[in-house]
């Protein structure tokens, strides 16, 4: 644990916390990042850059859909931040050919048409494609695909490459990454005291970027950050010829499909996993694996003979459909940085916005709609 005093502590060493650390370190701030290293959503992420409204989210959380829709400009900005980060880190296998949301019936395509109309009003580059148009850009899809919506703002990247490169970069700037769980946060005069596995440390300011773990830390400070975990399932195949350039989703069925430049195909899309916090780590559910890969093989018949070389579960963070960014009132030196739905996509933007607020600078986007004070 650090004996030397740092200006700012960041709780959470995922994509959001490290992005905040990068912004602060670039400005000459002394930063310490505390990361428990367990159940990290960034380390379990599959690398989708989501922008369009996900049909899965609209089905499961219809009460939160208006907040996600209102946040669509943030997703556009988040992808632009990723593009800058890709250049800064020397490449993270970022590909931005767009995302296809597939329809297998006329009714599903009608749903996508109405969805696209809503998205276009927020500045998204979307278009409805008939079967012939889909065939021209994705001939590997199954014959049952009736049409699709393409969102040209979407993309994909390799999170293993991105996480490693970002960590190396912030360490090179002098950021200290402490492998310790933060047990409590309390205000102390003009500073903030963190109680962690190695003892206590005091800082001028703190950013809580621990995804669903932020809720527990905010309570003793009198704050309410209503976030929860959502255990989800993912698979990755052996290498194959690189043909899947787009991020693939479905109008009704739970699926995401993307291929890394390495040739491996990542299959996910919101199939459930199991998590008991008393046990410690999320667990794979066999039925999810079977259902997930079976659906992928239906959509893309050419991958049927590929072997699944790894399957795993990770924890997604859910709130009210919007990100949570800003000071935790009445503590002006405690800041929350929790992305909304599709947290890995939003992480760099949210981390940088929180860092800007710590620095007293104006963030790239207006943070007021995402303030934690909305939960008071």
Average pLDDT, the chain: 93
Output the six-digit token pair for 174.
């002098």
pLDDT of residue 3: 43
Q: Beta strand pairing status for 31-34 and 8-11?
A: parallel
pLDDT of residue 320: 93
Cα-based distances in Å from 135 to 52, 117, 260, 318:
21, 23, 21, 35
pLDDT of residue 304: 94
pLDDT of residue 1: 39
Low-confidence ranges of the chain (pLDDT < 50): 1-4
Note the pTM of the prediction, 2 decimals: 0.95
Output the six-digit token pair for 176.
């200290």
Question: Can you list the positions of beta strands (E) in the chain?
Answer: 8-11, 31-34, 48-49, 99-103, 126-130, 147-151, 155-156, 176-178, 182-188, 191-196, 199-203, 205-208, 228-237, 247-250, 256-259, 265-268, 308-318, 324-328, 331-338
Whether omega for the bond prior to residue 330 falls within 30 degrees of 0, making it cis, is yes
Cα-based distances in Å from 6 to 18, 110, 170, 195, 357:
16, 55, 15, 15, 17
Distance CA 361, CA 365 (A): 11
For residue 72, give the nearest of 362, 341, 363 by alpha carbon: 341
Q: Which residues of 205-214 are buried (b: 16+ CB within 10 A; e: fewer)?
A: bbbbbbbbbb
The pLDDT tens digits for 310-366 are 999 999 998 999 999 999 999 999 999 999 988 999 999 999 999 999 999 999 899
The pLDDT tens digits for 9-20 are 999 999 999 999
**Contact assessment for residue 141 and residue 102, using Cβ atoms and an 8 Å cutoff:** yes
pLDDT of residue 42: 83
Q: Beta strand pairing status for 99-103 and 176-178?
A: unpaired
- Angle ∠(370,372,375) on CA atoms, nearest 5: 110
pLDDT of residue 360: 95
DSSP codes of every residue in 336-371: EEE--SSHHHHHHHHHHHHHHHHHT---SS--GGG-
pLDDT of residue 2: 42
Domains and CATH numbers, the chain: 8-43+161-227+321-375 (3.50.50.60), 95-155+228-318 (3.30.9.10)
pLDDT of residue 5: 55
């Amino acid at each position: 644990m650090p004996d030397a005093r740092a200006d700012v502590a960041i709780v959470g060493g995922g994509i959001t916390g490290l992005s905040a650390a990068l912004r602060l370190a670039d400005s000459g701030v002394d930063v310490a990042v505390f990361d428990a290293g367990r159940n990290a959503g960034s380390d379990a992420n599959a690398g989708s850059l989501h922008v369009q409204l996900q049909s899965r989210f609209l089905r499961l959380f219809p009460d939160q859909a208006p907040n996600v829709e209102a946040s669509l400009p943030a997703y556009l900005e988040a992808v632009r931040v990723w593009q800058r980060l890709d250049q800064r880190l020397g490449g993270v296998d970022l590909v931005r050919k767009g995302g296809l949301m597939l329809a297998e019936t006329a009714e599903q395509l009608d749903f996508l048409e109405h969805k696209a109309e809503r998205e276009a009003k927020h500045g998204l580059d979307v278009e409805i494609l008939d079967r012939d148009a889909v065939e021209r850009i994705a001939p590997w899809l199954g014959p049952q695909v009736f049409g699709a919506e393409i969102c040209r703002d979407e993309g994909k990247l390799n999170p293993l490459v991105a996480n490693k490169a970002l960590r190396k970069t912030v360490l090179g700037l002098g950021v200290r990454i402490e492998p310790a769980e933060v047990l409590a946060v309390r205000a102390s005069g003009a500073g903030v005291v963190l109680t962690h596995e190695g003892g206590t440390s005091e800082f001028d300011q703190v950013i809580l970027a621990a995804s669903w773990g932020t809720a527990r830390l905010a309570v003793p400070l009198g704050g309410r950050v209503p976030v929860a975990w959502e255990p989800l399932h993912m698979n990755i195949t052996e290498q194959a010829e690189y043909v899947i350039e787009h991020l693939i989703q479905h109008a009704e069925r739970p699926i995401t499909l993307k291929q890394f430049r390495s040739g491996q195909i990542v299959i996910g899309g919101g199939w459930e996993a199991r998590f008991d916090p008393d046990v410690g780590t999320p667990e794979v559910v066999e039925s999810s694996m079977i259902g997930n890969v079976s659906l992928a093989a239906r959509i893309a018949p050419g991958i049927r003979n590929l072997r699944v070389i790894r399957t795993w579960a990770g924890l997604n963070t859910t709130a009210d459909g919007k990100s949570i960014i800003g000071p935790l009132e009445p503590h002006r030196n405690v800041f929350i940085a929790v992305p909304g739905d599709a947290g890995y996509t939003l992480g760099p933007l949210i981390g940088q916005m929180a860092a800007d607020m710590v620095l007293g600078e104006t963030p790239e986007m207006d943070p007021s709609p995402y303030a934690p004070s909305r939960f008071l």
